[in-house]
């Protein structure tokens, strides 16, 4: 298998594994505690947004305001609950097609990166048993600006030693696709073409990922 690209950079949540439900449960508990309306439809707005950005969106719907110290405490509270939930993850939680995609990219001789706004990315990779599949992992602790800013994908490319135009990015969120495109990379969206309109190509799931298609 050959490819015109030199590296593939994957998002984590919604691409390699689905932690969205765990995030939903943790954010729902926090939203309830601050009396902010929260449901699955609103939760969609948090996809691809980092922890503090998601918290700001939730608190904007709360009946009172919070100090920066309050916000840090709330973010820590949410993260503690989320960590309890992801501690139950196993390799069985890999999304269908995700492991094969990693194997195909490696077999083609390309470098593999991960660009995730999660501060628990390494924990999740360890639980899934695939940390050693990646040449480099860039998480929220590595960058200043979260998605849709292109910094995280540009940082991943730099760490891999590959020019952005030689990278393919894989994302399931609007913010993530924007990050890839603004980094100057080819974007493969996982989900709906109607939602991921900036993606160069959209596939319904990772089971449909074929490196040779790009």
Residues designated as active site: 11, 13
Residue 84 to residues 22, 65, 99, Cα–Cα distance (Å): 9, 28, 25
Q: Alpha-carbon distance 27 to 81, whole Å?
A: 9
* Furthest CA-CA distance within the chain: 57
Please state the separation of Cα 85 from the chain's center in Å. 17
Give the sign of the dihedral formed by CA 28, CA 23, CA 39, CA 44.
positive
Q: Are 162 and 182 in contact (CB under 8 A)?
A: no
Structure token pair of residue 69:
């110290």
Enumerate residues 6+ apart whose C-beta is below 8 A from 61.
31, 36, 37, 38, 42
């Amino acid at each position: 298998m050959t490819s015109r690209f030199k590296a593939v950079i994957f998002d984590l949540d919604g691409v390699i594994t689905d932690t969205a439900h765990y995030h939903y449960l943790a954010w729902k508990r926090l939203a309830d505690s601050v009396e902010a309306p929260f449901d699955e439809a609103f939760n969609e707005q948090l996809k691809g947004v980092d922890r503090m950005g998601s918290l700001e969106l939730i608190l904007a719907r709360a009946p009172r305001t919070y100090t920066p110290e309050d916000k840090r405490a709330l973010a820590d509270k949410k993260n503690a609950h989320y960590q309890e939930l992801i501690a139950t993850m196993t390799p069985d939680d890999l999304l269908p097609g995700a492991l094969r995609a990693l194997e195909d990219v490696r077999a083609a001789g390309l470098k593999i990166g991960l660009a995730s706004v999660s501060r628990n990315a390494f924990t999740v990779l360890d639980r899934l048993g695939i940390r050693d599949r990646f040449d480099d992992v860039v998480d929220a602790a590595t960058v200043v600006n979260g998605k849709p800013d292109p910094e995280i994908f540009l940082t991943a490319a730099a760490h891999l030693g590959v020019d952005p135009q030689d990278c393919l990015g894989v994302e399931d969120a609007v913010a993530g696709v924007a990050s890839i495109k603004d980094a100057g990379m080819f974007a493969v969206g996982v989900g709906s073409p109607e939602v991921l309109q900036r993606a160069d190509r959209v596939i319904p799931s990772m089971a449909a990922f074929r490196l040779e298609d790009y």
